[in-house]
Amino acid sequence: MNIFQESRCSILGVLLVFFLQGSCADPDVEVHKAVGDSLELIADYPKKDLEVLWRYNDTTFAEYRNDDFQKVKSELFNRLKMNKNNINVTVTDLTLQDSGIFSVVAESKSEMYKTKVFVLHVHGSCADPDVEVHKAVGDSLELIADYPKKDLKVQWRYNQIAFAEYQNDDFQKVKSELFNNRLKMNKNNISVTVTDLTLQDSGRFSIVAESKSEQYKSKHFVLHVHDLIREVKIEDSYFWLQSKNLCMFHLRCVASGDQNLSYSWISPQTQGPQLNINLSLTESATLSCTANNTVSVKYTTKTVVCTDKSEVQQFCVKS
Ligand SMILES: *[C@@H]1O[C@H](CO)[C@@H](O)[C@H](O)[C@H]1NC(C)=O
Ligand SMILES: *[C@@H]1O[C@H](CO)[C@@H](O)[C@H](O)[C@H]1NC(C)=O
Ligand SMILES: *[C@@H]1O[C@H](CO)[C@@H](O)[C@H](O)[C@H]1NC(C)=O
Ligand SMILES: *[C@@H]1O[C@H](CO)[C@@H](O)[C@H](O)[C@H]1NC(C)=O
Ligand SMILES: *[C@@H]1O[C@H](CO)[C@@H](O)[C@H](O)[C@H]1NC(C)=O
Ligand SMILES: *[C@@H]1O[C@H](CO)[C@@H](O)[C@H](O)[C@H]1NC(C)=O
């Protein structure tokens, strides 16, 4: 299928600025692209005995020789599309970091062609801003492509890798093993649902869509999957201050599950996992602690009593 290009701003468009330079190379061409766009580097030279190198900042990342593309060691771009027929290399899914100098170096047995140099500037995309989505482990994430249905082509991507595709009024097979049997597709509302979310699913999901006549704005969702809070308990210890006849309690609220938690206490109302209170002899207090993260809340209470510790000052720990 065609390369999907993320929403391309007409304002950014492709702006070409030519600078006159020395005579052995064509002048540098400044190319402006948006994040997610593609950069096409065509070697439109006579095909006879043609050898071409495509370079990025002086590292070769594609090579054409003996009428075919050759293996190149460089790991530079794993987002390349090569087309033998028109000797065309396309870097897809441009990122801000791709900004740099691309060149197409070509020669035949009899001739060294002028090198073409493209100075690529990748700009922030004009897609809608990322939507932050918080989910709990085991939840589902539904990604609906609510675009006009006519001639609609949609790609769902996870961290830039396509994992679902819709075209010709139906979902298409996609090679990706991502989410495997956790994907549910629904033709009626053109939605893809990832079920049984795991912590590792946290990442950036995109919906890229186009029709024959229009490139729609891409939608991006940054998914944060959180653990549910499994258990919360109050630990307490106290110090018997004989001179004042009181117990100085130190309480700690401890929750397991997620790392990033908020704690709060009621009566006395405080924030944070720790609480200190003083009780006079035989006085008791019932304390409540609430732990929450973005996706869950758990709450517990405990009653503590100040008992006579007539012995010397000591530190008692109760479980
Ligand atoms: C270059 O190749 C890409 C896909 O590989 C194709 O979409 C594009 O139309 C080609 N460009 C030209 C000018 O042939
Ligand atoms: C390529 O060169 C440009 C400017 O010359 C630089 O900003 C960019 O970081 C370089 N990229 C890499 C991957 O070396
Ligand atoms: C899309 O369709 C599926 C299956 O019928 C349904 O579960 C889901 O709620 C629909 N989503 C919306 C937003 O209508
Ligand atoms: C922890 O949660 C708070 C509130 O939801 C959030 O602002 C913060 O970025 C989170 N920190 C980490 C490391 O996830
Ligand atoms: C408890 O009493 C001690 C001694 O009077 C005092 O220093 C401390 O601030 C009191 N703590 C609280 C939480 O009231
Ligand atoms: C806990 O809930 C409070 C109030 O709703 C919220 O402000 C806070 O961000 C939550 N904590 C975390 C870690 O999400």
- Per-residue pLDDT tens digits for 70-119: 988 887 888 999 999 999 999 999 988 899 999 999 999 999 999 999 99
Question: Strands 29-34, 116-123: parallel, antiparallel or unpaired by DSSP?
Answer: parallel
Q: Kindly report the pTM of this predicted structure.
A: 0.55
Q: Are residues 82 and 136 in the same domain?
A: no
CA-nearest residue for atom 11, ligand 3, is 189
- Between CA 83 and CA 87 the distance in angstroms is 6
Last residue of a domain, one of 66, 95, 123: 123
Q: How many CA atoms lie within 13 A of 76 on its CB side?
A: 21
- Say how far apart CA 191 and CA 200 lie, in whole Å: 22
Which phi-psi region, left, alpha or beta, contains residue 16 (left: φ > 0; alpha: ψ -120 to 50)?
Answer: beta
The residue written with tokens 């990342």 in the block is 61
Buried b / exposed e over 153-192, threshold 16 CB at 10 Å, is bbbbbbeebbbbbbeeeebeebebebbeeebeeeeeebbb
Taken in order 174, 175, 179, 183, the sign of the CA dihedral is positive
Residue 121 pLDDT greater than 60, yes or no:
yes
Please identify, among 66, 91, 123, the residue that sits at the C-terminal boundary of a domain. Answer: 123
Please report which ligand is nearest the Cα atom of 87: 1
Domain of 295, CATH number, reads 2.60.40.10
Is 239 found in the same domain as 209?
no
- 97 burial (CB, 10 Å; 0-12 / 13-18 / 19+) is exposed
pLDDT tens-digit map of 165-197:
999 999 998 888 889 899 999 999 999 999 999
Does the beta carbon of 83 lie inside 6 Å of ligand 1?
A: yes
Domain range for 276 is 231-318
Distance CA 178, CA 161 (A): 9
Co-location of 252 and 219 in the same domain: no
Pocket test of ligand 6: the residue of 229, 292, 298 to mutate, having most ligand atoms within 8 Å of its CB, is: 292
Of the residues 204, 226, 248, the one at which a domain ends? 226
Total domain count, the chain: 3
189 CA closest ligand 3 atom index? 1
**CA of 32 relative to ligand 2 center, distance in Å:** 15
Tokens of 91: 């870097």
Q: Which two tokens stand for residue 172?
A: 């298409």
Compute the distance between CA of residue 225 and CA of residue 197 in angstroms, rounded to an integer.
7
Measure 147 CA to ligand 6 centroid, in angstroms: 34
Whether 148 and 205 map to the same domain: the answer is yes
Q: Using alpha carbons only, how large is the chain's radius of gyration in Å?
A: 31
Same domain, 43 and 88: yes
For the Cβ of 186 lying below 6 angstroms from any atom of ligand 3, the answer is yes
Q: Is the pLDDT higher at 28 or at 56?
A: 56
Higher-pLDDT residue of 225 and 11 is: 225
Q: Which token pair is 121?
A: 């500037």
Closest ligand 2 atom number to CA of residue 57: 1
Convert the pLDDT of each residue in 203-251 to its tens digit.
Answer: 999 999 999 888 888 899 999 999 999 999 999 999 999 899 999 999 9
State the chain's mean pLDDT as an integer: 86
Ligand 4 lining (C-beta closer than 6 Å): 260, 294
> Is the residue at 5 inside a domain?
no
Residue 271 lies in a domain: yes
Which mutation among 58, 99, 118 tests ligand 2's pocket best, with the greatest number of atoms within 8 A of CB?
A: 99
CA 185 – ligand 5 centroid, Å: 61
